[in-house]
Structure 1
């Protein structure tokens, strides 16, 4: 006894939506990495260097060959200091 094709339409829609959302998330991750492959098992040192690269270039994975830091970088401190007293 054959299965009517109308019963398979919801499964096809679900599979298509999983594929579209997976491809979209992969593209967004690729764009956030500046066109480079995403990194896995990033330790504290890598996070620190990636944050430094972000502050220098504006991209999390961006790197520059400029020997001098851009203007204002000397005041661009990644450490957050709380104000206890006004």
Structure 2
């Protein structure tokens, strides 16, 4: 005895919605990263380099091959000084 296809329609709709929402979230994350895939296990060094890239290009994951830094970049130093010993 076969299974009527009407019983499988809700399953098809649920699987289709999961697939669509997963693809949409993946696309949105890629758009937020400048067209690149999302990063995982980002440590302090990676965050520092991504912040530098953001200050240079305006995008968190953007990179540039310009030899000279843009105007005003020399004044936006992200390094923080330690408080002095007293």
- Alignment-derived partner of residue 37 in structure 1: 37
Distance of 1:18 and 1:8 partners within structure 2: 16
**Shift in Å, 1:78:** 4.5
**Shift in Å, 1:49:** 0.7
Gaps of 5+ in 1: 80-86
Per the normalisation by structure 2, the TM-score is 0.74
Worse overlay, 57-66 or 28-37: 28-37
Aligned-residue RMSD, C-alpha? 2.1
Worse overlay, 15-24 or 67-76: 67-76
Within 5 A, what are the aligned runs for 1:1-86? 1-78=1-78
Per the normalisation by structure 1, the TM-score is 0.74
Gaps of 5+ in 2: 80-86
Distance of 1:3 and 1:38 partners within structure 2: 41
**Shift in Å, 1:5:** 1.6
Aligned residues: 80
